[in-house]
Amino acid sequence: MIKILANDGISQSGISALESKGFKIDTKHVHQDQLAQEINSKNYEVLLVRSATTVRKNLIDACPKLKIIGRGGVGMDNIDVVYAREKGKTVINTPAASSSSVAELVFAHLFGMVRFLFDSNRQMPLSGDADFKALKKSYANGTELAGKTLGIIGFGRIGKEVAKKAIGLGMNVIANDKFVKEEVITLDFFNGDKKSFKIVTKKLKDVLNKSDFVTLHVPKDGNKAVIGAEEIGLMKTGAGILNVSRGGVIDETALMFALDKQKLAYAGLDVYDNEPNPSIHICMHNAISLTPHIGAATKEAQQRIGTELADQISSYFEK
């Protein structure tokens, strides 16, 4: 019987799909330091992770019987992918399963930002009963998303899903991508109608110059931030920025400085440097909407991730 360790968990739909094919799956979490010993002693042939577990060269070398390393999600920066494949391991992920959930989180942050919900939800429990009128006045300058320009940096699956939702809200969408020149976005409506829009990507500086809001959907590129002080300087004064991709894509120090100087009005962050211990200064900043890396954390996305992983694992062993 082929044994699978889902070290960061897997949905019930994934468990059921795998068990129906005769696999044995364990969902207990093993500490990183004890992972190699657990894999070898229990003869696991498949290791599934999300973002909590890392799979580096030392673990790959220590587990010669491991055949598949799977990532429940899109980014695989917590896995030494090239090295694993050089060692004959199959590395899989689920790039399409969480796109809609991540895109919806972008707009959860956006709506919260433009109506100051991120701050209102902090202040109302503290002083809403005594300072209601003052709080009402302080949040009186909200803005609408309709008619505004959303700049999308990274126009892959998630970026395109964000574009669909933005177009549906009546926003103007512009995009930047190193590899995509143009893309046709098709909206599917509740009554079966469809409407397509062609988006031609632009240079990064043009997207930054023209956007009221910028959202990032790119992998981390070494140690250099995609958005640092220079890039923020190109943005509109009073713009907003969102990062639900990877920590380190935005220079957090430059971001806080820009917010303090009111170059930027607000930010929305789901990912951070130094996870799972983000900077207390970021966490306490009164112009940042915060979530704890929950982009794919919906029931629907987790069900799709589990099913997609199960399908890929089954296909591998059925060859």
Known catalytic residues? 246, 275, 293
Give the tokens for residue 41.
């002693």
Three-class SS of residue 98?
A: coil
For residues 317 and 154, what is the distance between their CA atoms, to the nearest angstrom?
A: 34
CA 45 remoteness from chain centre: 28
Name residue, tokens 């894509």.
249
- CA quadruple 165, 166, 170, 176: dihedral sign: negative
The DSSP element (H or E) to which 299 belongs, if any, is helix 299-317
For residues 198 and 182, what is the distance between their CA atoms, to the nearest angstrom?
A: 7
CA distances 48 to 52, 156, 279, Å, are 11, 24, 29
For residues 3 and 42, what is the distance between their CA atoms, to the nearest angstrom?
A: 8
Q: What torsion do the CA atoms of 278, 280, 286, 292 make, to the nearest 10 degrees?
A: 30
For residues 101 and 210, what is the distance between their CA atoms, to the nearest angstrom?
A: 26
CA distances 301 to 141, 213, 294, 298, Å, are 35, 25, 11, 5
Instruction: Look up residue 286 and give its DSSP letter.
Output: T
Q: What are phi and psi of 177, to 5 degrees?
A: -155, 140
